[in-house]
Amino acid sequence: MLNNIAFNADLIENGVWVQLQQSWFLIASVENNKFKSAIFDHGRNQFTDDEFCTLLAKFILLGWKDVKQPNGSDLAYSDEMAKIALMTNDDVRMLVDHVSTNLKYFCE
């Protein structure tokens, strides 16, 4: 019955583009190998929010387009800016949480 479900390993590892308002976010699956390795290599099963957002910024939220600064200019993507967005913007955090944990985004 579930034999007809195929996941795309490239999308799991390298992400899918998802729109939030006028901005686009490149989000990988929590099933990607780099994220899982980072979690398991950490050696703990509890993370502070700061630690977890660092991991999300490095391995899950991989990029963005059309994210604007308050003055209207484009905000360049970096791991550090992604971490700040994840820690301070509930909409971005909820989007990343939803997409990265929902395998429907990573099906062929």
Q: What per-residue confidence (pLDDT) applies to 44?
A: 66
What pLDDT digit, counting tens, does each position of 18-41 carry?
A: 999 999 999 999 999 999 998 887
* Spatial separation of the C-alpha atoms in residues 52 and 9, rounded to whole Å: 23
- Is the pLDDT at 85 greater than 50? The verdict is yes
- Is the pLDDT at 69 greater than 80? The verdict is yes
Structure-token match 């390298």, residue found: 14
In the chain, pLDDT over 70 holds for what percent of residues? 94
* Spatial separation of the C-alpha atoms in residues 2 and 18, rounded to whole Å: 26
Q: What is the pTM of this model?
A: 0.90
14 class by beta-carbon count within 10 Å (0-12 exposed, 13-18 middle, 19+ buried): middle
